[in-house]
């Protein structure tokens, strides 16, 4: 992709960092993620000329495919893309190889080692390997163990492991998984993906906060009254009931994506822009976070499930009627909660998190509401003045918005709110890379800044442990509400804020 030099804001947008020669090994190569996300992201990197010429992708799964079969299947999945870039594909597919491997079978992993040596010779990949575990989470631990046992992780400068979420399903299992993974290799070899960190606007939270002087002095309890973090989706559970039934919104979205947005919004400035400095600050703030009511956690959390909805023309089934879902399921597709962060910066500021499927609009945002002016000198056009708000729009419509009061035109002195907008699209024109493009490149570069470290993951699980235990041991205390598909969630979630005299922002 070329960078236009007509728009000065776009000049130098792609600062190139060079990916070393290497072989990317994808376990789970016959699965969904490989052809939906990974191969398209790699093809994009190839077209951007970001991949080295000494490069190979080795797909691995149990199916007895050949290299040709793997290439053919990937080509089928990317048919539309390839149609526009036929000659690029013709070159790219030469990097694709396949080896049938069952990670549980030591002999298979030894054979994999031999194949990698052959590829090193054929493609000059110099023994550098990134192992991507796109397999069921149940195999993360044993997968890392098998790779270590075959000696494939022994050089920390040449081998890395990338793991998809979920990392564990609660605090205990996350600790256990970290122990196994860290015994197989060093922490700096492990790249835990949270695809929200691949989003340009999530990374922009750091730049907005720490590259400007106007925000930091007011980014604290003295000026900020409350913070809302929302990740709303219009889709339902889709074809993923098998996974989702056992996960629910708390594990699927809150423990990872919403918590990452929370951490970036609230962390202290790192001493320098370096992966460990940033991840130290994120881990630190998460360790200071807690549910608003730890003694009675059911009072600060609402769980719900979507019921039927949609229109007469386009009806939508309720969660319990979705294929593969237990008709008596109590898995939440919506969750809202209130947290506090007990540190000097945030003491007393409520943080409200919510996420849900089948909501009216796909939107993710962080909303910081500032304290009201201490004295109201002017009448407000709408009755009462609107507090200043800074809205970080993560998606879609990536950008930021600032709401403030101005004088309403006319002879009186009434105030009314207006907003100031920044849009990535308008300012930069060029669409941002898909999250996986950025994250795969960073993993292959060995840059862990945008990956979650073991202690961060544990701190995040620990934060939600009282809720997870309650759901397990005393579900009646945290009953599952119902909301009509296509609405903004249950009334109980509105009450969570109404009790504090607040309302959810309507995106």
- Active-site positions read 257
Query: Residue 286 CB, nearest distance to ligand BG6 (Å)?
Result: 18
Nearer to ligand BG6, 119 or 261 (CB): 261
Alpha helices per DSSP H over 150-255: 171-184, 200-210, 241-249
Nearer to ligand BG6, 201 or 287 (CB): 201
Query: Residue 244 CB, nearest distance to ligand BG6 (Å)?
Result: 7
Query: Residue 100 CB, nearest distance to ligand BG6 (Å)?
Result: 28
Q: Are 109 and 69 in contact (CB under 8 A)?
A: no
Cβ atoms < 10 Å from Cβ of 183? 11
Nearer to ligand BG6, 173 or 188 (CB): 173
Query: Residue 291 CB, nearest distance to ligand BG6 (Å)?
Result: 22
Residue 332, interface with ligand BG6 (CB under 6 A)? no
The 194-233 site mask, x for binding ligand BG6 (CB under 6 A), equals: ---------------------------------------x
The 109-148 site mask, x for binding ligand BG6 (CB under 6 A), equals: ----------------------------------------
Which distant-in-sequence residues (6+ apart) come within 8 Å of 345 by Cβ? 219, 220, 221, 266, 268
The 440-469 site mask, x for binding ligand BG6 (CB under 6 A), equals: ------------------------------
Nearer to ligand BG6, 129 or 358 (CB): 358
Q: Count of residues for the chain?
A: 507
> Which residue of 44, 108, 170, 252 would you call a contact of ligand BG6, by CB under 6 A?
252
Q: Are 215 and 208 in contact (CB under 8 A)?
A: yes
Query: Residue 39 CB, nearest distance to ligand BG6 (Å)?
Result: 18
- DSSP, collapsed to helix, strand or coil, labels residue 361 as coil
Alpha helices per DSSP H over 379-499: 424-428, 435-445, 454-473, 491-498
Nearer to ligand BG6, 281 or 398 (CB): 398
Per residue in 358-377, is it b (16+ CB within 10 Å) or e — as a string?
Answer: bbeeebbbbbbbbeeeeeee
- Crossing angle of helices 259-266/454-473, nearest 10°? 130
Query: Residue 95 CB, nearest distance to ligand BG6 (Å)?
Result: 27
Residue 164, interface with ligand BG6 (CB under 6 A)? no
Question: What's the DSSP call for residue 224?
Answer: E
Q: State the Cα–Cα distance between residues 221 and 209, nearest whole angstrom.
A: 15
Cβ atoms < 10 Å from Cβ of 124? 13
Give contact residues for ligand BG6 (rule: CB under 6 A). Answer: 233, 252, 364
């Amino acid at each position: 992709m070329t960078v236009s030099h007509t728009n000065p804001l776009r000049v130098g947008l792609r600062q190139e960092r060079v990916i070393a020669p290497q072989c990317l090994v994808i376990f789970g190569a016959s699965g969904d993620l490989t052809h939906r996300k990974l191969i398209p992201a790699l093809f994009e990197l190839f077209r951007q000329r970001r991949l080295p010429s000494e490069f190979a992708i080795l797909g691995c799964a149990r199916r007895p495919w050949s290299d040709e079969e793997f290439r053919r299947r990937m080509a089928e999945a990317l048919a539309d893309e390839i149609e526009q870039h036929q000659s690029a594909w013709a070159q790219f597919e030469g990097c694709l190889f396949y080896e049938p491997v069952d990670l549980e079978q030591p002999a298979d992993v030894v054979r994999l080692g031999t194949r990698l040596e052959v590829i090193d010779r054929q493609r000059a990949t110099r023994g550098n390997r990134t192992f991507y575990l796109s397999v069921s989470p149940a195999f993360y631990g044993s997968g890392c163990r098998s790779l270590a046992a075959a000696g494939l992780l022994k050089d920390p400068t040449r081998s890395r492991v990338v793991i998809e979420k979920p990392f564990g399903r609660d605090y205990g299992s996350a600790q256990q998984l970290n122990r196994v993974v860290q015994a197989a290799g060093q922490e700096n070899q492990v790249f835990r993906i949270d695809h929200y960190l691949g989003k340009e606007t999530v990374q922009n939270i750091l730049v907005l906060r720490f590259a400007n002087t106007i925000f930091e002095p007011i980014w604290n309890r003295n000026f900020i009254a409350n913070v809302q973090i929302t990740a709303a989706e219009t889709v339902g559970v889709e074809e993923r009931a098998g996974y989702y039934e056992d996960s629910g919104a708390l594990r699927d979205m809150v423990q990872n994506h919403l918590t990452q947005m929370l951490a970036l919004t609230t962390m202290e400035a790192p001493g320098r822009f370096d992966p460990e400095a940033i991840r130290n600050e994120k881990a630190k703030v998460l360790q200071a976070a807690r549910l608003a009511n730890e003694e009675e956690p059911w009072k600060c959390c609402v769980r719900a499930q979507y019921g039927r909805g949609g229109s007469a023309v386009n009806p939508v089934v309720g969660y319990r009627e979705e294929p593969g879902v237990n008709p008596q399921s109590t898995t939440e597709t919506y969750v809202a909660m209130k947290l506090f962060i007990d540190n000097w910066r945030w003491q007393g500021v409520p943080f409200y998190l919510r996420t849900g499927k089948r909501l009216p609009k796909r939107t993710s945002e962080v909303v910081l509401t500032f304290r009201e002016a201490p004295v109201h000198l002017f009448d407000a056009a709408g009755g009462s003045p609107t507090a200043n708000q800074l809205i970080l729009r993560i998606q879609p419509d990536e950008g930021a918005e600032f709401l403030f009061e101005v004088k309403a035109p006319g002879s009186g002195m009434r105030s009314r709110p207006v907003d100031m907008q920044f849009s990535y699209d308008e300012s930069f024109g060029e669409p941002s890379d898909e999250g996986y493009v950025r994250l795969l490149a960073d993993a292959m570069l060995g840059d862990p800044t945008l990956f979650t470290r073991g202690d961060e993951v544990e701190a995040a699980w620990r934060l939600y442990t009282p809720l997870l235990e309650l759901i397990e041991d005393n579900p009646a205390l945290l009953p599952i509400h119902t909301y009509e598909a296509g609405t903004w969630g249950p009334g109980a979630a509105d009450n969570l804020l109404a009790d504090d005299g607040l309302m959810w922002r309507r995106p």
